[in-house]
Amino acid sequence: MTTARLNPGIPLLLNGVSKRYGSKTILNELDLHIPTGQFVAVVGRSGGGKSTLLRLLAGLEKPNAGQLLAGSTPLAQIQE
């Protein structure tokens, strides 16, 4: 595995990200672009996928489909 550090000067990109637990779809083909230097608030109802999204971004979960990127680098390759 390639070890890299997350540079705060690069955008975060989610392309077609889906997450399922068994037959239950939590996130379905989510596309999200967080530009460099921007802040984002994640809000929604209980069970709406907020925690799952943050767990994916933190690398605690893996998506069933799609890509999570820091610039052009997959988040799965970035470790502290």
What pLDDT digit, counting tens, does each position of 29-80 carry?
A: 999 999 998 999 999 999 999 999 999 999 899 999 999 999 999 988 875 4
pLDDT for the residue 44:
95
Residue 9 pLDDT > 90: no
pLDDT for the residue 78:
78
Residue 22 pLDDT > 80: yes
Residue 23 pLDDT > 80: yes
List the domains of the chain with CATH numbers. 12-77 (3.40.50.300)
- HEC readout, 13-76: EEEEEEEEECCEEEEEEEEEEECCCCCCCCCCCCCCCHHHHHHHHHCCCCCCEEEEEECCEEHH
